Chain A
Amino acid sequence: GENVEQHPSTLSVQEGDSAVIKCTYSDSASNYFPWYKQELGKRPQLIIDIRSNVGEKKDQRIAVTLNKTAKHFSLHITETQPEDSAVYFCAARMEYGNKLVFGAGTILRVKS
């Protein structure tokens, strides 16, 4: 079955710096890779996603890159702000309706 590994487990950056979180997946058939942000005591919320036919996707300060050959994908947050502080999860899914498997999460702290 699918296995998703996420690094680092914690990340501290200075406000205005960039943050990068990396994930690897095991099942080469996976074709959908979302990223979620979870604030303390709240439900996870989708922030960006990418499909296997795309190498990079950007939405304002957030971007995701995908390397299907190496089976890894990354989240990039530029110009970080204190409100970006949260837990971030990557996930992978083989096809629609199949299992959506999550990484263990990254605690991001943005210091002002």
Chain B
Amino acid sequence: NAGVTQTPKFQVLKTGQSMTLQCAQDMNHNSMYWYRQDPGMGLRLIYYSASEGTTDKGEVPNGYNVSRLNKREFSLRLESAAPSQTSVYFCASPGHLTQSEAFFGQGTRLTVV
């Protein structure tokens, strides 16, 4: 039982390149989230998915797209990376009503040069 698995752990992109961050959870949770963390800015919600087949924008969705491929997987795509997207990205998945805490993936440190 790995919880939330996120890949890659590190990535360096050139401006304009694209990439997809992968996230998978093995807890049979309905909801999944993508956050970015910048110094002094806390965790800002990019997109979330309340259930398979649904996605919604969070606080900072511009420049990102997401796909809820199935119940387990929720990917985040940067179509044309910009230096402003340099950040640490976290995927998270909360439990059910009786266990609502969000479990976080290990994080992806992305640098756009």
Residues of B within 8 A of A96 (CB): 31, 94, 96-97, 100
Residues of chain B at interface, number, CB under 8 A? 28
Q: In the bound complex, what is the Cα–Cα distance between A60 and B41 (angstroms)?
A: 30
Report if B104 contacts A (CB, 8 A).
yes
User: Are A100 and B106 interface neighbours, CB within 8 A?
Assistant: no
**Which among A43, A93, A102, A104 has the highest number of chain B CB atoms within 10 Å?**
A43
Given contacts A43-B90, A44-B43, A105-B42, contact A100 B51 (CB under 8 A): no
B50 contacts partner chain A, Cβ-Cβ < 8 Å: yes
Tell yes or no: B30 within 8 A of A by CB: yes
A103 touches B42 (CB 8 A): yes
Residues of A contacting B96 in the complex (Cβ-Cβ under 8 angstroms): 96
- Across the interface, B42 reaches (CB within 8 A) one of A34, A93, A100, A104, namely A104
- Tally A-B pairs: CB < 8 A: 58
Q: What is the CA–CA distance of A45 and B105 in the complex, to the nearest angstrom?
A: 10
Q: A residues bordering B, Cβ < 8 Å? A: 1, 6, 9, 32, 34, 43-46, 49, 89, 91, 93, 96-105
Residues of B that sit less than 8 Å from A by CB: 30-31, 33, 35, 40-45, 48, 50-51, 56, 58-59, 90, 92, 94, 96-97, 100-102, 104-107
